[in-house]
Amino acid sequence: MSDTQLNSRPELQKISSRKMDVQTPSSPVLNSSGDGDVKKNLLSKPVTKILILFYQEYPNQIPTHDEVVDNVEEVLISRGYQVALLPINQSIDKITNGIREAKPDLIFNLVETFRNNDRFDSNVTALIEMFRIPFTGATSGGLFLSGDKHVSKKIFDFHRISYADFFVVRVGQDVAVPKGFTYPLFVKPVREDASIGIDDNSVANNYESLVKKVKELHETLGGDVMVEEFIDGREFYVSVIGDDGNAKPLSIVELDFSKWPAGKPKIYSNKAKIDEKSEEFKKIDFNYGQDLKKTLPEEIQKKMGDLAVKVARALDVRDYARIDMRMDNDGKLYVLEANLNPYLAREDIMSMAAQASGISYDELVDGIVKSALARQKVRV
């Protein structure tokens, strides 16, 4: 069923159209000598039109979208941008027609899935690229490379970026553990997001449990499976802002397992991420800012930041990204994966890192816009 059939509202949901008369502390025109000059400069400056592109679901035929859309929209309106929303779900025509109708100066790309398939985020981005309109975040190629954990680890290897050793079990293949691997082993899909397919059984302590989990993922998700050495240690998220040439790390956020039940594998499962009623969700916490600095030496923090920037450059990051890594009991760092265009909600990991770095959520979102617009000016 198409988006149009499910949604009776106009195809392009125009939410606001405000003139550039919103004064913000960061606006350079506020340094003018008089109120008349300020008003003149504000009114004469062209308004940047931003189209927010996002995925919208229709449970019980009722359109529903993630809170991040509202968070970003509120910031953009407060900063004086002209904003429109374009929800997508199934129809490619809705994307193309919506962009043509809106004629935006910039597309804020919040699409993480399409046709209920997370692998299609890069396809939607490729469609945007053909319009030759500036957009925020990674290219279609960058999203594809980072989304394929097998390929991204090959890139890490080329750039001498440390990662957990691994092997891949293709659909239809039997599990054969190469020499040198010891249990426990960690099992996850090659191409999935948000810890989909990951639960307590993802940590295999013997061959029997390994085969069982691999078979489950093959049957339920229909894709290849990665088996890697399980790094039993502290888990960290290092956010990066800017393009690969000028990328810089934000303050580090640690996944806090201090309330985790004894004996339970320390992994951030899909249930712990999204099921607010689950015990896993309730017991997961985050450690950052001054609290984290008390337990993580400054030299290690710098090492993590440098490693995150190295990953960003290897994967051609644009505007913002989040690099997930673990540190074993000997202090060695392993990159787990890179998340390009990570979740950008006001209360999530990226905003925690920005806050600890002295950057407000509003400044973070506006900075992403400015980064994308600046890139277009130099034709990068």
Return d(Cα 304, Cα 335) in angstroms, integer.
10
Average pLDDT of 76-103? 95
User: Which amino acid would we find at residue 67?
Assistant: E
**Least trusted range by pLDDT, from 15-29, 134-148, 208-222, 257-271:** 15-29
Token code pair at residue 3 = 């988006």
256 within 8 A of 212, measured Cβ to Cβ: no
308 within 8 A of 322, measured Cβ to Cβ: no
Token code pair at residue 103 = 């004629």
371 within 8 A of 243, measured Cβ to Cβ: yes
3-state helix, strand, coil in the chain (%, to 5): 40, 20, 40
DSSP 64: B
Average pLDDT of 223-243? 94
> Please, which pLDDT band fits residue 262 given cuts at 50, 70 and 90?
confident
pTM: 0.84
Domains identified in the chain and CATH numbers = 3-135 (no CATH), 165-229 (3.30.1490), 234-377 (3.30.470.20)
Return d(Cα 259, Cα 235) in angstroms, integer.
14
Average pLDDT of 264-293? 85
The predicted structure's pLDDT at residue 169: 95
The predicted structure's pLDDT at residue 377: 66
Return d(Cα 286, Cα 237) in angstroms, integer.
10
Return d(Cα 135, Cα 123) in angstroms, integer.
14
Q: Determine whether 111 is exposed, middle or buried from the number of CB atoms within 10 Å of its CB (0-12, 13-18, 19+).
A: buried
Q: Is the pLDDT of residue 83 over 90?
A: yes
> Please, which pLDDT band fits residue 45 given cuts at 50, 70 and 90?
low
Average pLDDT of 349-360? 96
Q: Determine whether 167 is exposed, middle or buried from the number of CB atoms within 10 Å of its CB (0-12, 13-18, 19+).
A: middle
Q: Is the pLDDT of residue 338 over 90?
A: yes
User: Which amino acid would we find at residue 186?
Assistant: F
> Please, which pLDDT band fits residue 252 given cuts at 50, 70 and 90?
very high
Q: Is the pLDDT of residue 1 over 50?
A: no
User: Which amino acid would we find at residue 170?
Assistant: R
**Least trusted range by pLDDT, from 73-82, 182-191, 261-270:** 261-270
15 within 8 A of 84, measured Cβ to Cβ: yes
Q: Is the pLDDT of residue 33 over 70?
A: no
Within 10 Å of residue 320's Cβ, how many Cβ atoms?
Answer: 28
Average pLDDT over the chain, rounded to an integer: 86
Q: Is the pLDDT of residue 57 over 90?
A: no
Of 30 and 339, which is predicted with more confidence? 339
> Please, which pLDDT band fits residue 2 given cuts at 50, 70 and 90?
very low
Compute the chain's Rg from CA coordinates: 22
Q: Is the pLDDT of residue 332 over 90?
A: yes
**Least trusted range by pLDDT, from 17-26, 213-222, 259-268:** 17-26
Q: Is the pLDDT of residue 80 over 50?
A: yes
Q: What digits encode the pLDDT tens for the residues 141-199? A: 999 999 899 999 999 999 999 999 999 999 989 999 999 999 999 999 998 776 787 88
Strand order in the sheet with 248-256: 285-288, 248-256, 234-241, 320-327, 333-340
273 within 8 A of 296, measured Cβ to Cβ: no
Of 67 and 270, which is predicted with more confidence? 67
User: Which amino acid would we find at residue 369?
Assistant: V
Give the helix/strand (H/E) hosting 84.
Answer: strand 82-88
- Does the N-terminal peptide bond of residue 261 adopt cis geometry, omega within 30 degrees of 0? no
